[in-house]
Structure 1
Amino acid sequence: MNDMPQKDGLLTRVARRGGRADRSALGSWFWDIDWLLLILTLFLIAIGLVAVAAASPATAQRYSDATHHMPALYYFWRQLMWVCVSLPVLVIVSMLPADQARRFALIGCAGFLLCLALVPIAGVTVNGARRWLGVGIAQFQPSEFLKPCFIVATAWLLSMKGKEGLSATVLMLLTGGLTAVVAVLLMLQPDFGQTVVFSLVWIALLLISGISPRVILSLGGLALGGVVAAYLFYSTARTRIDAFLFPGSGDGAEHFQVNAARATLTAGGWFGTGPGGGQMKYRLPEAHTDYIFSVIGEEFGLIACAIVAIIFLAIVVRVFVKLLDEQDDFRLLAAAGLAIQFGAQALISMAVNTGLAPSKGMTMPFISYGGSSMIALSVGMGLLLAFTRRNPFVLRSPYVVKWSGE
């Protein structure tokens, strides 16, 4: 019992040493950030650069013509540029305190929702879909940037349960209305895959917020009804579902993509053909974006695909493990929602590449090529890192908590 004051003083001195008492923005970030989560993210970005380099020759050949010849590594160099832009964004956003990160996301949600509403009016059409705003290199995809901001806004609303006289039912209707508006705007583009992701995240956040099982069953029925309605009245969904369930239907383009992706994925066996050795990738319509997982399988093997899948799983599991003792409802919902969106997008992309899901035009986080996708994902991961930041010394030692409160 007599060593308690000595231990208290020792821990206080340790807290003051080594920079942990430095509460500047950079010092706080360095000691509070989840380094494992950050390292796994950087590992994914590095894998993505290698994968885009492997897919770039096939895509460059596909989009070259007699008057315009693209260099083989055209998409790789562009992706490297986007990574150089995105990494500072990720770090800066992750340095924000939780309240500032929430404010940043709420403003972003309002701004990008407005941009999404402008897409059907002033959007740019690429490959038959109108999803972009802007001109030239300044083009961006509002839905990509809206995703993390939408999740944080929804988490903030659901965390208000019991406050300001807001009931769970009112908040469910409010967030459901917001999700419905986003879904309608996405369907107009059309973008069925993103509609699925937004809806899944909303339902998952309702579950985490403690909504009653009766309501969940009702939402499940509505979701099933929504899928049936989409099949009956939404031609994009009907075409892709038919191509997946009935391979002989339609013009066969969707079925060809699914078969080509699966064949490319397995062409390299367990260890792959080696960098630059793949030939099946030249048959893929979007080797550098939607079907980049298949390119990884051909050139680096199924073992490499398994490693990529394990990294995605590790990121999601890491977040949920950190949230086991989280006491703040908002931080819990926001971090969980961002992790679910990240994992769901990766899972859908892998399912499409393996032929387990209809083609959805879904990119793989940090792996697929794309400026809007890379920057938006960096914003989302930055927010996730901001909401999971903790001072490891203060939280784990009751002595330092006592000292810091004096």
Structure 2
Amino acid sequence: MSHVKPKKKTAKRKYRKPLGYDFTVLFIVLILVLFGVVMIFSSSYYYTMTTERFHNDMFYFLKRQSLWAVLGIVAMVGMMHIPYTLWRRFAKLAYWLSNLFLLALPFVGTEAGGQKRWLGIGSLSFQPSEFTKIAVILFLSSYVIEHRKELANLKGFFKACCVLLLPVALIAISNFSSALLVGLMGATILFVASPRVWYFGAAIAGAIPLCGLAVAIPKFRYRLTRIKTWLDPWADPTGDGFQTIQSLYALASGGLFGLGLGQSRQKTFIPEAYNDIIFAIICEELGIVGAALVILLFAVLIWRGIRIAMNAKDSYGMLVATGITAVIAFQSIINIGVVTNTIPNTGQPLPFISYGGTSLLFLMAMVGMLLNISRYPKDREN
């Protein structure tokens, strides 16, 4: 009689997705950054050649943005290799340090465009609002996890809102558009973390009087003018409506395939066309097709960011990825909305494309953090 050895029971094993980065995010960001360098040169060389302070150096903005792009790539690669959980230890410090920077702005900040938005000496300066984005993402994500039970009641939710509103209010003193962006980013984190959706209705109702106050104060009355300009830019075509009108002309003259790279006419009229309004130059030189491809890249990037957040191995990674994705999404929407006159004029650079070293550096550092989160997905059963 033959003896049959009983089969050993094998436990149902779990496997972890191979520890690889989301290379779709990496490639899209690199494409956008390189494309931004090209478009900054295309939209700025006429301005530098016709402005005395640049000494006819047509490569002035190209060289500076290229340097910041290299530094941004270094920051992104560095953040890719640092476990995102490590930053939670420094979240509170970063949060209060960012508030300290914002408090110092009115007293020791460098003035540009009539507003004090920079800290530093000479070329070694940065915008505290950019650092605040990272600080708020890290600290607010940690705060709502530690006080998750409290978020189920209105008092606890109000405390979490106060954590967000402090830096938002400090930024709004000198930069309303950045305050709006940080507010939307933080609200997205709270929306994902909060078990009571109707609390947001109460928060919006409470924010309405604050918005009215922001318009009523004489110092901030210009915001009401921007709304009037948005509704009818042709009411003041050579004043407040000038930039909006010239942007719309650029969109219209580009047609389907554009005038060709470097062939924009409106960059000779639009002030600082290489900056917040660069999407208009993209539309004029590359047409609707080129602009649609740029929007498609942003859409895929945002989609991948949402997937990274959904697949994060823990709640902290999920909320941090949500905040980073929200920054890219809202900043893109605001910039494109302003250029197309879909929303009132407010200054926000187009992520990875517009000229600006501080914005590019901190944004790419955040992408590096997002890529690190993508390396640690939650376990899935076989």
Normalising by structure 1, we get a TM-score of 0.84
Q: 1:176 aligns with which of 161, 173, 188?
A: 161
CA contact (8 A) 1:97 1:386 kept: yes
Higher mean displacement: 224-233 or 336-345 = 224-233
User: Displacement, 1:198?
Assistant: 1.3
Deviation of 1:396 (Å): 4.9
Aligned to 2:281: 295
Q: Identify if the C-alpha distance between structure 1 residues 256 and 390 changes in structure 2 by more than 3 Å, giving closer, same or farther.
A: same
In 2, Cα distance between equivalents of 1:310 and 1:68: 35
CA distance in 1, matches of 2:376, 2:313: 12
Q: CA deviation at 1:112?
A: 2.4
Match of 1:32 among 14, 20, 44: 20
Residues 1:194 and 1:162: Cα distance change in structure 2 (over 3 Å) = closer
Task: Give me the CA root mean square deviation.
Answer: 2.8
Please say if residues 240 and 359 of structure 1, whose CA atoms lie closer than 8 Å, have aligned partners that are also in contact: yes
Deviation larger for 261-270 or 135-144: 261-270
Cα distance in 1 for residues equivalent to 2:324 and 2:136: 10
Mark the runs of 5 or more structure 2 residues left unpaired by the alignment.
1-5
2:245 to 247, 250, 259: 259
Q: Match for residue 203 of structure 1?
A: 187
Instruction: Quote how far apart the aligned CAs of 1:358 are.
Output: 1.5
CA apart distance, 1:266: 2.7
Residue 251 of structure 1, CA deviation: 8.6
> For residue 351 of structure 2, what is the aligned residue in structure 1?
365
Q: Which ranges of structure 1 fall in alignment gaps of 5 or more residues? A: 21-30, 399-406
Supply the distance in 1 between the matched residues of 2:151 and 2:337 (Cα, whole angstroms). Answer: 39
Question: What CA distance in whole angstroms lies between the structure 1 residues aligned with 2:269 and 2:295?
Answer: 24
Selected match of 1:185 from 163, 170, 173: 170
| Residue 42 (structure 1) aligned with residue 30 (structure 2) | yes
1:259 Cα offset (Å): 0.9
Q: Map residues 280-359 of structure 1 onto 2, 5 A cutoff.
A: 280-326=266-312, 328-359=314-345
How far is 1:223 from its partner? 3.2
For residue 313 of structure 1, report the CA deviation from its aligned partner: 1.1
Which letter does structure 2 place at the counterpart of 1:38?
L
Letter in 2 for 1:210: S
CA distance in 2, matches of 1:148, 1:397: 33
Tell me if 1:53 matches 2:38.
no
Is 1:155–1:205's contact at 8 Å kept on the other side of the alignment?
yes
Measured against aligned partners, the alpha-carbon deviations of 1:291-336 in whole angstroms (never above 9, x if no partner) come to 1111111112221111111111111111222333445222111111
Distance 2:163 2:343 in 1: 27
For residues 88 and 231 of structure 1, the distance between their equivalents in structure 2, rounded to whole angstroms, comes to 42
Q: Distance in 1 between matches of 2:187 and 2:229?
A: 27
Counterpart in the other structure of 1:217: 201
Q: Give 1:210 deviation, angstroms.
A: 2.6
The 1:222/1:272 distance shift into structure 2, 3 A limit, reads same
2:100 maps to what in 1? 114
User: Separation in 1 of the partners of 2:48 and 2:161?
Assistant: 42
Q: Take 1:232 and 1:389, find their aligned partners in 2: how far apart are those partners?
A: 48
TM-score (norm 2): 0.89
Give the Cα separation in 1 of the matches to 2:151 and 2:339: 43
Q: Report the Cα offset of residue 126 of structure 1.
A: 0.9
Q: Structure 1's 275 and 357: CA in aligned 2 closer, same or farther, altered over 3 A?
A: same
User: What is the CA-CA distance between 1:102 and the residue it aligns to?
Assistant: 2.5
Q: What are the residue-to-residue correspondences of 1:243-282 with 2, within 5 Å?
A: 243-247=229-233, 253-282=239-268
Distance apart, 1:106 and its partner CA? 4.2
Residue equivalent to 1:402: none
In the TM superposition, what is the alpha-carbon distance from 1:70 to its structure 2 partner?
3.9
Deviation at 1:242, TM superposition (A): 2.0
Aligned counterparts, 1:93-112, within 5 A: 93-112=79-98
Conservation of the 8 A alpha-carbon contact between 1:162 and 1:168 = no
Q: Within 1, Cα distance between the matches of 2:289 and 2:171?
A: 35
